[in-house]
Structure 1
Amino acid sequence: MTDITATSLSQLGPRICILGPSNSGKSTLAAAIGRSRDLPPVHLDQLYHQPGTDWQPRPRAEFVALHDQAIQGERWVMDGNYTQCLLQRLARATGFILLDASTPLSMWRYVRRCWFDTDRKGALEGAKDSVKWSMLRYIAVVTPANRRRYDALFGEVALPKVRLATPPALAHFYRKEGLRSR
């Protein structure tokens, strides 16, 4: 497939898919793009988990139905991985952004958001974030393999796309596009 690399946010179109490891800044970026481009942000964590719970998943069929309804919109910026629905999401997307953050940085961001971020983008309504061993393990053990899969996927996706592989690259993108994280 053709490798199309976008040079600006406007080249990504009205339906932008953001992927990346846990705590890499996907939800914050989606909210910033949403404000800047008047695109409704869709945080897949909020669709996948039941509101008012301690991050309890919805039944799979319910999540897939919510996901598929969301991607039918004409305009959105959607953050989250949830690879069981990724193919249909990418089929509707007009642009793709891949973020990355090192495992230590992801761990630090996870703990910081649980302890200090009271107004976090993408937070689950009615839930309070708390540090969970299962999430720490996920970041340390599962995320490195996911990072390799996302990198391979980036090479295969034939959409206008942007790879922001380091925190300085992400910060530069914010500045260049006039985005604000809050």
Structure 2
Amino acid sequence: MIPLENLGKRICIIGLSSGGKSTLAQALGKKLQLKVCHLDQLAHIPGTNWQPRDKELLRKDHVQFLRENREWIIEGNYSFLMKERFTDATAVIWLDFNVRGAVIRYLLRVLKSPASRPGNLLGATRQFSWKLVKYIIFTAPKNREKYRKLITETGVTLLHLTSFKSLKKYYGFWELKRRS
């Protein structure tokens, strides 16, 4: 088990959709008193049902966040932004879980649909997307090699968690509060 203080004060959290990235980011941010950036909120237009923003606007906001904040937690993937983020990071937590489990968690999240869930888009009324289900099943698993390569290239410290059970153990080890 890696002690929380060994991860530093610039932590990236990546992984499958519905893997718990946003919830973990919120819990770590509260515990470490760090600003949290949810990339999905930068990547989509508030008040819409997850309508994407222009990629260059996302890139600009991402760079601005990195420049304006020396200590942070950033959760989300967006691989075209990872190299810069990983280069600046002190650690990456990779929630690399089973695809089937991620789809089930996504469907449960959609059914619960709490507007207050960490990482939710302000004003979004629709939570379900076939596009996201396809992404979880087909695209995300193909990105694993790309993520491994970027992590290796940047030399950032990696905490690679491959099960929800291991994530729960870290919640306990780090004494993080899970949202109810």
2: CA distance between counterparts of 1:117 and 1:130? 7
Q: How does 1:1-182 map to 2 (within 5 A)?
A: 7-72=2-67, 73-118=69-114, 119-182=116-179
The answer as to whether partners of 1:97 and 1:162 remain within 8 angstroms in 2 is yes
The CA deviation string for residues 66-95 of structure 1, in whole angstroms up to 9 with x for no partner, is 111111211110000101111111111111
1: CA distance between counterparts of 2:157 and 2:140? 25
Counterpart residue type for residue 34 of structure 2: L
Structure 1 position 12, deviation (Å): 1.2
The CA deviation string for residues 78-132 of structure 1, in whole angstroms up to 9 with x for no partner, is 0001011111111111111111221111111111111204121100011124322
Counterpart residue type for residue 94 of structure 2: L
The CA deviation string for residues 133-165 of structure 1, in whole angstroms up to 9 with x for no partner, is 111111111122123433454445422221111
Counterpart residue number, 1:3? none
Counterpart residue type for residue 173 of structure 2: K
The answer as to whether partners of 1:95 and 1:160 remain within 8 angstroms in 2 is yes
Percent identical: 37
1: CA distance between counterparts of 2:150 and 2:165? 22
Counterpart residue type for residue 102 of structure 1: N
Flag structure 1 segments of 5+ consecutive residues without an equivalent.
1-5
SS of match in other structure, 1:174: helix
1: CA distance between counterparts of 2:94 and 2:8? 15
Q: CA RMSD in A?
A: 1.6
The CA deviation string for residues 1-38 of structure 1, in whole angstroms up to 9 with x for no partner, is xxxxx821111111101111211111111101001000
**Most deviating of 124-133 and 56-65:** 124-133
The answer as to whether partners of 2:15 and 2:76 remain within 8 angstroms in 1 is yes
Count of paired positions: 177
**Most deviating of 130-139 and 151-160:** 151-160
**Most deviating of 110-119 and 34-43:** 110-119
SS of match in other structure, 1:105: helix
Counterpart residue type for residue 8 of structure 1: P
